[in-house]
Structure 1
């Protein structure tokens, strides 16, 4: 393992990246979708999704603090569980993110702009993807600075929505609490799970974080309560102000129009919705090269995808491929709900190998965890990780029953990835002897 104590990413940067990954798709792209599924219980779905996320977040934070590295969500399972399973999780995440996440964020961005001026949402989505592709060609330092600026405006805009919307809440719109039943609430949580999971991805830039052993746990301790509070409060205000029927499958501007003046509504759309979505897009572009670097080091993707340019040190070819794939998905006629569901499968699947890695790592390398100031202990880490595996399996099943076609597509594409892995390794072009996350851990 190579620790980067002098990395470019500090505590505020890490918090901004985490909040940017979390606040975006769920709150502004999928609240309406989840409301259509969970009804009045959508805010419970948010809390449930976050509760399951926290089960996995603690073991993930412990891994990131004990073994700071880049691409940790791939490298930890590869090192402590199975290279094949680690690759499948990374591949499945790529399918979900490039086919669902980035086009979802871009399309929703365009829809929010359309609420202010007459534009084509797809064209606007293409422009925002292009803009943040170019920003990230400038390197993680530039991208992290942009992230902090967007983060400050985002929190302010959400505060305006909650403060001015609270008096407009009609409790009759929030009853009965579980209007679609418990299954609907759980299905809503499955839809919202990936974007609640976003903070976990900070371990993928662990090698770029200053004093990661301390900074990673601290950043998560700040970002998770902030986001949970924003999510639940915003969901209550949105549903409570206009009702389930008006909000189902609609953007949050439907609720904002009910109680915000035109000026404040404009600030909410720009500083809240648009900035939230762009922080998510920016954070994805920040993280993707870390996976490409890890996969290329293991010989599982062509090295050119991880090759960096001399001026900025960024993986320009890899970023270009991600950009082109997301643009291709953007122009397809897949509805927002389908994009969000596709995104969910990859996030749910990804966390399972990471939790298995945490369970094995605390047994094999206890001394590495003992040096982490915030270490919660072997028993607690193991219990939380095992609980997260069970809960993720349940969410996957519920989401699959709600969207069998999308699940079949995702499983089919993951099967293609499995075939690619076996062909590449059997041909001798993959599975090089990788650099271990930590000496002696294999």
Structure 2
């Protein structure tokens, strides 16, 4: 694929990254984190973004060295272990189809229900179907829709921060760190998956124009932008209504401070252009990204080859996209407690980071000349140190997140290891019966 064939430029890449980061979690979990962190919730966002950002330099280095499809699987599979890479992708799939797309769709339906009486699940089905069709029409259409949603989303958050700033009362931040450092860190653990998402842009490597430069640039734009919006939103939310007591941010959604800080018209715009569009950008971005994993895993033999086939008219992996849609739709309409499965996102996202950081360390050490040729202005030792620090910090946050939902984590880990392992054995046997071997065409070359 040449640059002339690609449709994702810098602005579209930033829109996709922001859409993956800013979702329903910002509007619902800021209140949950405030219950834990108290007046320290803005610092919880700062800490979480610091941890998330540690992994972005090593990730950008890999993408700048060789842009590929499904990079979060491809890089660890070539530089470390294809089986480990597959299992982490499998775990991410459980997170995304069990706690990602269906949770986003249900959240969208619930926000609409708060405005007009509707069935949240039915609305969720409509939203999933709509974005499935948008993405079936091609990445250029999906990226254009993403840009429109992105502009409205950022505008609504800017309105909340700028217009709401004069209503902030410094007394609402007293005492400083009201629940202590431990509370602030636990709040950061809850907010972790609210800040994840930008690193998934590497999965679109072959669809990004001048990807070796554009991907690092897009990360350099999207992360500071979202950081400012998130911290600003937390400061205005807590500063307006406080961190504890009736009518405060504790356990509340952002609509509570919005009603106090904004005029009615702007408050409505914040709910629609902010909450609804934030969820919509996340759903659309997941539909853009997820089929890429299907394609590269099918190319490596883990999945049936049909999942890598593309539509002749639109150039989309229609069977892979359809599988993503079917699995998420089945989860949404199932009797599973979808509303309680949001933590699954954090489990899959955190664990996915580890093999990527191992791959980055191996890349820097094994291919120093290729690292030096990338546009990453960071010494190799610093990149290695950031990768190691990211693994350690992610391990701490995984423990914190798992401690909040131990049974859910145990179920996720079991489905990832046992379910993924059983699938590998079945797939190996299936291919052996047909005279081939799993990974028979795998060369491991980076």
Give yes or no for TM over 0.5.
yes
1:208-227 mapped onto 2 (5 Å cutoff): 208-227=207-226
- 1:8 maps onto 2:7 in alignment: yes
Deviation at 1:301, TM superposition (A): 1.2
Classify 1:177/1:316 alpha carbon distance in 2 versus 1 (closer, same or farther; 3 Å): farther
Q: CA deviation at 1:292?
A: 0.5
| More displaced stretch, 327-336 vs 203-212 | 327-336
- Inter-CA distance 143–52: structure 2 relative to 1 (3 Å threshold): same
Q: What residue in structure 1 maps to residue 345 of structure 2? A: 343
Shift of 1:327: 2.2
Write out aligned runs for 1:169-208 (5 A): 169-208=168-207
Is the contact between residue 49 and residue 192 of structure 1 (CA under 8 Å) also seen in structure 2? yes
| Alpha-carbon distance in structure 1 between the residues aligned to 2:129 and 2:260 | 33
1:251 alignment counterpart: 253
CA distance in 2 between partners of 1:176 and 1:3 (Å): 57
Q: Say if 1:103 and 1:182 are closer, same or farther in 2 by CA, change over 3 A.
A: farther
SS of the equivalent of 1:218 reads helix
More divergent stretch after superposition (356-365 vs 163-172): 163-172
**Contact map agreement 2:99 2:338 (CA 8 A) in 1:** no
Range with greater deviation from structure 2 (283-292 or 314-323)? 314-323
* Structural mapping, 1:174-323, within 5 Å: 174-245=173-244, 246-323=248-325
The CA deviation string for residues 61-86 of structure 1, in whole angstroms up to 9 with x for no partner, is 11111110010000000000111110
TM-score by length of 2: 0.93
Distance 1:298 1:238, change over 3 A: same
Is 2:379 the counterpart of 1:371?
no
Alignment match, 1:432:
440
Distance 1:3 1:391 in 2: 38
Match of 1:78?
77
Q: Distance in 1 between matches of 2:328 and 2:396?
A: 29
Change (3 A) 1:180 1:425: farther
2:396 matches 1:403: no
Deviation at 1:181, TM superposition (A): 3.3
Q: Give per-residue Cα distances to partners, 1:202-222, cap 9 Å, x unaligned.
A: 000011111111111111111
For the pair 1:37 / 2:36, whether they are aligned, the reply is: yes
Change (3 A) 1:426 1:248: farther
Q: Paired residue for 2:139? A: 140
The number of aligned residues is 436
**Rounded Cα–Cα distance in structure 2 between residues aligned with 1:387 and 1:290:** 28
Q: CA deviation at 1:49?
A: 1.1
SS of 1:432's equivalent in the other structure is coil
Residue 95 (structure 1) aligns with: 94
Superposed CA offset, 1:212-257 (max 9, x none):
1111111111111000000001011112222334433432112211
- Contact 1:99 1:329 survives alignment (8 Å): yes
Q: Secondary structure at the match of 1:30?
A: helix
Report the TM-score, using the length of structure 1 for normalisation: 0.94
Query: Which structure 1 residue ranges, 5 or more long, are not aligned?
Result: none
CA contact (8 A) 1:6 1:209 kept: no
Deviation at residue 335 of structure 1 after TM alignment = 6.0
Q: Tell me, yes or no, if the aligned pair for 1:193 and 1:347 is still in contact at 8 Å.
A: no
What residue is the counterpart of 2:426 in the other structure? Answer: 423
- 1-structure distance, mates of 2:386, 2:62: 13
State the distance in 2 between where 1:155 and 1:371 align: 34
Superposition deviation, residue 153 in structure 1: 1.1
The alpha-carbon deviation at position 5 of structure 1 amounts to 6.8
Q: Rate the CA distance shift 1:173–1:125 in 2: closer, same or farther, 3 A.
A: farther
Looking at structure 2, the residues matched to 229 and 375 of structure 1 have their Cα atoms a distance apart, in angstroms, of 23
Range that drifts further, 73-82 or 25-34: 25-34
Separation (CA, whole Å) in 2 of partners of 1:37 and 1:89 = 29
Q: State the partner residue of 2:329.
A: 327
Question: For 2:61, what is the secondary structure of its paired residue?
Answer: helix
Residues 312, 249 of structure 1: alpha-carbon distance in 2 compared, 3 angstrom cutoff: farther
Alpha-carbon offset, residue 175 of structure 1: 2.9
- Cα 1:379–1:59, aligned 2, differ >3 Å: closer, same or farther? same
Distance 1:253 1:381 in 2: 40
Quote the RMSD (CA, aligned, Å). Answer: 1.9
Q: Which stretch shows the higher mean deviation, 348-357 or 103-112? A: 103-112
